[in-house]
A and B are shown apart, each in its own frame.
Chain A
C-alpha cells in the first residue's frame, strides 16, 4: 500500500452526494454517524473492502464522491443488514449502500458491471413473466458477464436439473399487463437519485 499521502483540493470535492441520495427515507441519518466502526466490525465481508463501511461514511461526508462510487465496498456488501441492526445511531446502512449502488449503476461506474448485469436480467425476467425464472436468470447473467465461463458453470446447472430444481417452463402471471403498468409507473416515480 502506498505511503504517499493523497492531497485533495477543495475543487475536486463534491459535497452533493449525500443530498442526492437523501430523499430515500432513513438515509439522511448518515449525518449522525459517530465513526465508531460498529458497522465495519459487524460486516462479514469488510475484510475484502478497500474502504470499509465506516470509512465510506467519512468519505461521503468529506465529499470524496468518485472514491465512494468507483470503490469496491458497495459491491462487496451482501445486504445482510448486520451493520444497520447494530448501528448505535440507527443509520439504515444497507439502504445507504443500495442508494450508492443505484447511483454507481446509473453513472456506469467502475466495478458496477456485474451487479448491473444481474439486476438487469432479473428486472427483464420479472417484467416478462411477473416472476423470476431461475434457469433463464443464470443463463442470461452468464452471457452478459462471462460468456466463456459457461463450461465452468455447466456442471452445477446440470446437477440442479437432475435434482429437478431447474424447470425449463416459465409461469406467466395472469395480470401481467397490470404488473407491467405498475413497474413502468414505479420506474418513472423512482429513479431520481
Chain B
C-alpha cells in the first residue's frame, strides 16, 4: 500500500528515532512511504497563538500537495495529525474560513478543494496493514514485556483515531499483537504538558510525573508513545522530574514503531533505540 508520508519537523531532529523506526518497519508491513514533496511545518500549537488563518493555511498547503497524488497522508506525529484533521474538518464545515484560506493559498499559486484523508501512522498500521499481517511478521514475540499504552492527547481528540476519544484501544491491540502485555493505564490520554515544558516547566513536570508514576504503579517495563513531544517530555525530562519530586524513575519511553521493529527482529541500531535518555536497549533481552 502506497501512502503520502508526512514526517513533520520533529522526526528530522528530536524524534529521529521515530522516523528511523517507521522507515524500518514500513518495508516488512508492505507500506510504501512516498514522502510529501516539499512539505512544510504544520504550525504546531504555536501558530494558533498568533493567527488562526496562518495556522490553517500551513496545513492546507500540505493537504494541497498531497491532493495531486490521490494518496492518503500519513503522519507519525500526533500534533501534525491533529492539525491536518482539524484543517480538513474546518475547511469543509466553515465556508467563510475556507474562502480566506483559499485566498492565502492562491497567493502562493496553490489550490485545495478538499478530499485528502489524513491518518496517524498507528491508525494506518492497525486499520490498513492490519493486526493479522503484524502478527505474521513477529519473529521475537515480546512475551512477558509489560507496556503502558500512552496515547497522549492530540491523537485521541477531538479529531482523533477513533469515535471514542476517551477509551481508544488501538495501541493496546498492537502491543498484544506483538506478544507483549498492555497494562491497564488510566493516564493513557492525559496530556504530557506539550509545549508547556518550555513556557511553564513546573506544570509539565508534574504531568510527566503522573504519567511515570501511573506506569510504575501498573508495573510497566516501558511506556509506548505515539507522539514526538510526549516522548521528549517523558524521556528527556525524566531526570528533571526525579529532581523535582525526589523520585527515581528510570522507565524507557519507546515509539510503538520501535516495539514493532523489536518484535520483527530488526537491528536495534536501525530502530534508533539508543537515541533516548533512558535507552530501551535493555528491552532487547526480552522475549528473545
Contact = CB atoms under 8 A, between A and B. Distances in A.
Interface of A: 24-25, 44-45, 48, 75-76, 78-82, 84-85, 92, 94, 98-99, 101-102, 105, 114-116, 118-120, 122-123, 126, 130-135, 141, 156, 159-160, 163-167, 171, 173-175, 178-179, 181-187, 189-191
A190 B44 contact: no
Nearest to A74: B49
Interface of B: 9-10, 12-17, 38-41, 43-54, 56-58, 61, 90, 93-94, 96-97, 100-101, 103-110, 153-154, 157-158, 165-166, 189-191, 193-196, 198-200, 203-204, 207, 236-237, 274-277
Contacts of B46: 118-119, 122-123
Contacts of B277: 159, 163
Contacts of A25: 90, 93-94, 96-97
A76 B44 contact: no
Contacts of A187: 51, 53-54
B13 A166 contact: yes
Contacts of A179: 40, 61, 108
B191 A80 contact: yes
Contacts of A114: 198-200
A116 B51 CA distance: 12
B14 A160 contact: yes
Given A81-B158, A85-B157, A118-B195, A134 B14 contact: yes
Contacts of A163: 274-277
B244 to A, nearest CB: 13
Nearest to A184: B107
A85 B158 contact: yes
B196 A78 contact: yes
A119 B90 contact: no
Give the top 10 A-B pairs by smallest Cβ distance, nearest first.
Answer: A190-B53, A80-B191, A178-B108, A185-B107, A122-B46, A80-B153, A182-B108, A186-B104, A132-B9, A190-B51
A160 B12 contact: no
A96 B115 CA distance: 27
Contacts of A99: 52
A10 to B, nearest CB: 32
Task: Pick from A78, A159, A175, A179 the residue with the most CB of B within 10 Å.
Answer: A78
Nearest to B159: A81
A18 B108 CA distance: 33
11 contacts: A44-B190, A48-B200, A76-B196, A78-B207, A102-B50, A119-B46, A126-B40, A134-B14, A182-B108, A186-B100, A190-B100
A126 B83 CA distance: 16
Given A75-B200, A134-B9, A84 B104 contact: no
A45 B97 CA distance: 31
A31 B19 CA distance: 44
A126 B40 CA distance: 8
A118 B51 contact: no
Given A78-B193, A102-B50, A173 B38 contact: yes
Contacts of A181: 107-108
Contacts of B44: 122, 132
Contacts of A166: 13-14
Contact of A173 (B40, B49, B165): B40
Given A98-B49, A187-B51, A75 B199 contact: yes
Contacts of A134: 9-10, 13-14
Contact of B236 (A159, A174, A186): A159
Nearest to A105: B49
Contacts of A156: 236-237
A72 B106 CA distance: 38
A165 B16 contact: yes
Given A25-B94, A80-B153, A185-B107, A132 B53 contact: no
Contacts of A76: 196, 200, 203
A54 to B, nearest CB: 18
Task: Pick from B15, B93, B191 the residue with the most CB of A within 10 Å.
Answer: B191
B107 to A, nearest CB: 4
Contacts of B49: 98, 101-102, 105, 115-116, 119
A119 B47 contact: yes
Given A122-B46, A175-B38, A78 B191 contact: yes
